[in-house]
Amino acid sequence: MENPRTITLALTGASGMPYGIRLLEMLLQNGKQVYLLYSKVAQIVAQQEMSFTLPGSAKEAEAFFCRQFHTQEGQLRVFGREEWFAPVASGSNPADAMVVCPCTMGTLAAIAAGTSQSLIERAADVTLKENRQLIIVPREMPFSVIHLENMLKLARSGAVILPANPGFYHHPQTIQDMVDFVVARILDHLGVKHTLITRWGVEN
C-alpha cells in the first residue's frame, strides 16, 4: 500500500500493548490521521504491561494521547466500543488501512466470522469488504488448529497476518529494540517510512 493517509488502529486485550502504543506514536509522528479503537480488556493489559490507565471515555483517551504524543489538532480521533456513527462503521467512509495490534484470538475469530458485534469487529469487516488493507497482529502461543484456521480464512479474504515475532539478526539490545522490529514490519506493510531498524543487507 502506498502511503495511506488515514489508519484505523485497534488495541485488544492480548499481551503486547507496547507494540500497539509504539505503532500509534510512529503513525502520529509521520503525520497520519489515526482512528483509535480499544477494547475493555485492552485497558487492563495497558495497566499491567505499561503501568498506565487507558481512560474509559473516548474523549479523555483522545486528550491523553494528544498530550503524550503532541499531535496536531484533529489528527487523532478515539471512538467508543459501540459508537456506531464513527466513520469506520460504514463503507461510505472507510480508513485507508486498519491494524489490529495486538489482536486476541477472540477478536480474530469474530473478524473471521463477520459477527461485527463491536466497533472493532465492524471496522475490520468494513475494511475487508471495501478491499482496504487489514493487518492482524496476533500475540499468542501456541496456536490451536482453530486459531490457524481463522488466520487462514482471513488471509484468504485479503488480510495480512503479521504475528508479533521479533527477529534477532539486528542484534537487539533492549526490549524497545524488539518492539521496534515488529512495529517496523507493520509500518513497512502500510507504506509508512521509518528508521526504526537497520534493513537487511544494509551496513550500520
CATH of the domain at 60: 3.40.50.1950
> Is residue 156 marked as binding?
no
Q: Facing residues of 33 across strands? A: 6
Q: What is the pLDDT of residues 76-120, one digit of tens each?
A: 999 999 999 999 999 999 999 999 999 999 999 999 999 999 999
* pLDDT at res. 1: 55
- What confidence tier does 73 reach under pLDDT thresholds 50, 70, 90? confident
Q: Into how many domains does the chain fold?
A: 1
Assigned domain for 204 exists: no
Q: Say what the pTM is.
A: 0.95
Residue 5 labeled ligand binder: no
Q: Is 15 annotated to bind ligand?
A: yes
Question: Is residue 144 included in any domain, yes or no?
Answer: yes
> Where residue 149 falls among pLDDT bands split at 50, 70, 90?
very high
Say what the pLDDT of residue 98 is.
98
pLDDT of residue 203: 67
Give the domain range for residue 115.
Answer: 6-190
Give long-range contacts, CB 8 A cutoff, 24+ apart: 173-181. 175/18, 179/18, 179/19, 179/22, 180/22
19 is in an annotated binding site: no
Instruction: Please report whether residue 201 resides in a domain.
Output: no
Average confidence score pLDDT of the chain: 94
Average of per-residue pLDDT across 7-14: 97
Count of CA atoms in the C-beta half-sphere (13 A) of 118? 18
Residue 14 assigned as binding residue = yes
157 annotated as belonging to a binding site for a ligand: no
139 is in an annotated binding site: yes
pLDDT of residue 201: 79
Quick one: average pLDDT of 6-21?
A: 97
75: exposed, middle or buried (Cβ count in 10 Å: 0-12, 13-18, 19+)? middle
